[in-house]
Amino acid sequence: MSPLITPSELSALTGATVLDVRWKLGGPPGADLFREGHIPGAVFCDLDADLAAPPGEAGRHPLPAADHFQEAARRLGVSGSRTVVVYDEADSTAAARAWWTLRHFGHPDVRVLDGGLRAWVSEGLPLAEGDQEAVQGDFVARPGGMPVLDADQAAELAGDGVLLDARAAERYRGEVEPIDPVAGHVPGAVSAPTGENVDPSGRFHLPDFLRERFNTLGAVPGVRVGAYCGSGVTAAHEVLALEVAGIPAALYVGSWSNWVADPSRPVATG
C-alpha cells in the first residue's frame, strides 16, 4: 500500500484519524492556521511538542520518549486500529515527520495527504474553522517500527552505504548555515535536497521518477541507505520519498544539529 493518499480518497474514507501538522521553522504558528481553516474532523498536531523531545545535545528535534509520544498520540485521538492520515500545507515536510514517528512507534496504517491542504482546497473540498478536540485514543507506542541511526552509525553508513543529506545544496556544501553553529556535512554523505522529491505543487513525483533519482545517488538494491537533515524533519520527508520509491531507509533523527554538538566529529565542505 502506498504511504500517500489523494484528497478524493481521503474525502471518501470513513473512520480515520486526521492530523493537521502544519509547521514552519520560525512560524507562523500552525495552530493559528488550523483555526483559520482545516480539513473537517482534523485535529492539530504540534510538531515541536508532540513529535519531538525538547532540543539539546541530541538535536533540535530529538526522538520523543515512547511514553511521551503515546500520551500525545492518545490525546490526538490516535488508536492502533484506525487509519491515521497526516497533512501539512503542501509539500509534506512536516507531515512526513508525523508519518515517520507514528510508524516508528508501531502504528500499522499511516498515510500522508499528497499535496497537503493546498491539494484538498484545489479540488473544491470543504474546510472547517475553529478548534477541534479529539476523542481519546488508545494507541500503544512500541518503538522500533522504523530503523534509526545515531551519529556513529551515520558515519559508518556514509562510508559503506549511502547517507543522503536532505538539506538544501548550499547548506550541504557549507556555503551558508542559517540555523546550526557549524556549516558543512557529514563526511561521505551525498547531497539529496528534499525539494527535488516533489513537483511545484508540492505533490510527490511518481515512484519511477523517485526510484531513478535515488538510484542515481547510489541508493540501489543491496546498499544500505540512510538520511539526515538539520534536525530530523526534512530527512523524514526523504525517508518517505524513498518509501514511495520502494527503497527502505533509516533516519538519523538527531541529524546535523546532533552531529555538530560534539566538536570532535569531522565536518566536510564543498
DSSP codes, 121-145: HHTT---B-S--PPPP------S-S
In a domain, 138, yes or no: no
68: Cβ contacts below 8 Å, ≥ 6 apart? 53
pLDDT at 1: 83
**Is residue 41 in some structural domain?**
yes
| Residue 56 DSSP class | B
pLDDT of 61 strictly over 90: yes
> Span 39-47, mean pLDDT?
98
Q: Quick one: pLDDT band at residue 211, thresholds 50, 70, 90?
A: very high
Mean pLDDT of the chain: 97
* pLDDT tens figures, 116-157: 999 999 999 999 999 999 999 999 999 999 999 999 999 999
Burial of 262 (0-12, 13-18, 19+ CB in 10 A): exposed
Number of domains in the chain: 2
Q: What is the mean pLDDT of residues 153-176?
A: 98
Q: What is the DSSP letter of 206?
A: P
Amino acid at 151: A
pLDDT at 189: 98
DSSP helix/strand/coil, 256: helix
Please tell me the predicted confidence (pLDDT) of residue 26.
Answer: 78
The one-letter code for the residue type at 29 is P
112/174 same-domain check: no
186 shares a domain with 95 = no
142 assigned to some structural domain: no
Q: How far apart are CA 24 and CA 164, in angstroms?
A: 22
- Whether pLDDT at 104 is above 90: yes
Q: Amino acid identity of 102?
A: L
Residue 270 inside a domain? The answer is no
Domain of residue 109 covers: 4-122
Which of 105, 122, 139 corresponds to the end of one domain? 122
On the question of pLDDT at 53 being above 90, the answer is yes
pLDDT bucket at 206, cuts 50 / 70 / 90: very high
Percent of the chain with pLDDT over 70: 100
Same domain, 231 and 182: yes
Q: Is the pTM of the predicted complex or chain greater than 0.95?
A: yes
135 located within any domain: no
Rounded Cα–Cα distance for residues 53 and 63 (Å)? 6
Confidence of residue 267 (pLDDT cuts 50, 70, 90): very high
Q: How far is CA 53 from CA 60, 130, 191, in A?
A: 8, 27, 27
Q: What is the mean predicted confidence (pLDDT) over 59-81?
A: 98
Based on the domain organization, do 9 and 118 belong to the same domain?
Answer: yes
Residue 139 lies in a domain: no
> How far is Cα 144 from Cα 204, in angstroms, rounded to an integer?
26
Determine the pLDDT at residue 230.
98
| Residue 218 included in any domain | yes
* C-alpha dihedral, 242 to 204 to 234 to 93, nearest 10°: -140
- Tell me the percentage of the chain whose pLDDT exceeds 90: 97
Decide if pLDDT at 100 tops 90: yes
Calpha distance 135→21 (Å, rounded): 18
pLDDT at 24: 87
**Is the model's pLDDT at 25 over the cut of 90?**
no
Residues acting as catalytic residues: 229
Residues 249 and 212 grouped into a single domain:
yes
Between the CA atoms of 3, 68, 143 and 10, what dihedral angle is there, to the nearest 10 degrees?
Answer: -10
Classify residue 237: in a domain, yes or no: yes
**Are residues 21 and 47 in contact, defined by beta-carbon separation less than 8 angstroms?**
yes
Q: Does residue 192 share a domain with residue 108?
A: no
Q: How confident is the model at residue 91 (pLDDT cuts 50, 70, 90)?
A: very high
**Residue 168, domain CATH:** 3.40.250.10
